[in-house]
């Protein structure tokens, strides 16, 4: 049984989350506390497997509670976040402090009921997550982002279980390289780790991170202050340029399309795929069609199997694909499924992925 503690000063949210937990056959509600200080005492007496945590609470806000918890007894924490710019900033800070995931607090109770199953799945994923202590990275002035150097393509190679697989060579016709990245649970911090270590001279990067509306613009701005490449939220119809990472808007699909001399982006409101929008499957399938052997795919931490079949399509089209290894994942679900489907060329630890991308982009 997954033991869950709810910490929220809203009686409505406490009642709702308690009911979600109690309705699951594999979960047990340890308690629902409106006061974070009382919750700390409860955790000392009976440690839960997962904590759901509100951001704004009396006596101690959610960030202070989380910071103290991770110093004393690290546990998987899911943040309950408001759909505001301030709420998005606070949520991203919480993920830096070690929170595993977050749930956006909708405007109405009816919308809450629609999200009950998703919340239960997030709790299950959090229960099996690797919890690590993370030190927040302070915001800093955006680094200079010079234009990229010319890039030459790389070609696929057999599956490697090493961060130091050989560089690749291709005789394919010259075309602009493109990197596609998919991520879910734990992906916010994994993306920061990868993107912040890349040089400015990189191919364009297109990203599908499972995230609801209202958070991705803040996420992109935050990453942009930390990276030498430019990071932005993707816009429908915009041309794709090297040295830029484009993040799918929350709640919308992102696709890559060919255009004269390069690529452009499509952002759509098509139905969810694998229950996700944005979907990694949708993005990766479009990359397979548009870029073929000029593509590099990366599957980062996340629960479920979104993107696994499409990553296989990418590999069959000639792309070179990397999956994050189990030891460095918060949740190994998506990389595991991609590997099992046969779509992965190389399994690599998170700290080594940026270096591999740089080497692959520069190989000929």
Active-site residue set: 184, 210, 306
C-alpha 245/C-alpha 61 separation (Å) is 33
If you search the block for the tokens 């291709």, which residue do you land on?
A: 170
CA proximity to 353, closest of 213, 144, 227, 193: 193
C-alpha 266/C-alpha 286 separation (Å) is 10
CA proximity to 202, closest of 152, 271, 260: 152
Contact 183, 301 (CB under 8 A): yes
Rounded to 5 degrees, φ, ψ at 29 are: -85, 115
C-alpha 284/C-alpha 269 separation (Å) is 17
Q: Where are the beta strands (DSSP E) in the chain?
A: 2-7, 27-33, 50-54, 77-82, 101-105, 178-183, 205-209, 230-233, 244-247, 253-259, 262-268, 295-299, 320-324, 346-348
Q: Where are the beta strands (DSSP E) in 210-362?
A: 230-233, 244-247, 253-259, 262-268, 295-299, 320-324, 346-348
- Say which residues have a Cβ less than 8 Å from residue 48's Cβ, sequence separation at least 6: 3, 4, 5, 30, 75
C-alpha 134/C-alpha 330 separation (Å) is 12
C-alpha 199/C-alpha 216 separation (Å) is 22
CA 136 remoteness from chain centre: 17
Contact 158, 243 (CB under 8 A): no
């Amino acid at each position: 049984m997954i033991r869950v503690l709810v910490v929220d000063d809203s009686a409505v949210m406490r009642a709702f989350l308690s009911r979600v937990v109690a309705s699951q056959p594999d979960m047990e509600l340890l308690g629902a506390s409106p006061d974070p200080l009382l919750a700390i005492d409860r955790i000392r007496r009976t440690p839960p497997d997962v904590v759901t945590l509100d951001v704004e609470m009396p006596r101690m806000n959610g960030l202070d509670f989380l910071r103290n918890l991770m110093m004393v007894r690290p546990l998987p924490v899911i943040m309950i976040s408001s759909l505001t710019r301030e709420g998005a900033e606070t949520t991203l800070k919480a993920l830096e402090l070690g929170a595993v995931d977050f749930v956006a607090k909708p405007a109405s109770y009816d919308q809450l009921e629609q999200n009950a199953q998703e919340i239960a799945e997030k709790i299950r994923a959090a229960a099996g997550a690797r919890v690590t202590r993370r030190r927040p990275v302070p915001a800093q002035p955006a680094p200079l982002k010079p234009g990229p150097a010319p890039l030459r393509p790389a070609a696929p190679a057999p599956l490697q279980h090493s961060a130091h697989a050989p560089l690749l060579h291709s005789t394919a016709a010259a075309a602009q390289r493109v990197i596609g990245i998919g991520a879910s649970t734990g992906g916010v911090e994994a993306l920061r780790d990868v993107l912040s270590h890349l040089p400015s001279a990189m191919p364009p990067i297109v990203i599908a991170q499972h995230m609801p509306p209202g958070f991705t613009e803040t996420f992109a701005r935050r990453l942009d202050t930390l990276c030498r490449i430019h990071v932005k939220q993707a816009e429908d119809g915009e041309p794709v340029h090297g040295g830029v990472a484009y993040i799918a808007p929350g709640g919308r699909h992102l696709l890559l399309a060919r255009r004269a001399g390069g690529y452009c982006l499509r952002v759509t409101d098509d139905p969810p795929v694998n229950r996700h929008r944005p979907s990694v499957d949708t993005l990766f399938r479009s990359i397979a069609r548009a870029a073929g052997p000029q593509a590099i795919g990366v599957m980062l931490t996340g629960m479920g199997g979104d993107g696994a079949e499409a990553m296989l399509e990418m590999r069959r089209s000639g792309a070179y694909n990397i999956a994050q290894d189990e030891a460095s994942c918060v949740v190994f679900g998506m990389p595991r499924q991609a590997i099992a489907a046969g779509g992965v060329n190389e399994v690599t630890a998170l700290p080594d992925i940026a270096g591999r991308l740089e080497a692959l982009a520069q190989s000929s």
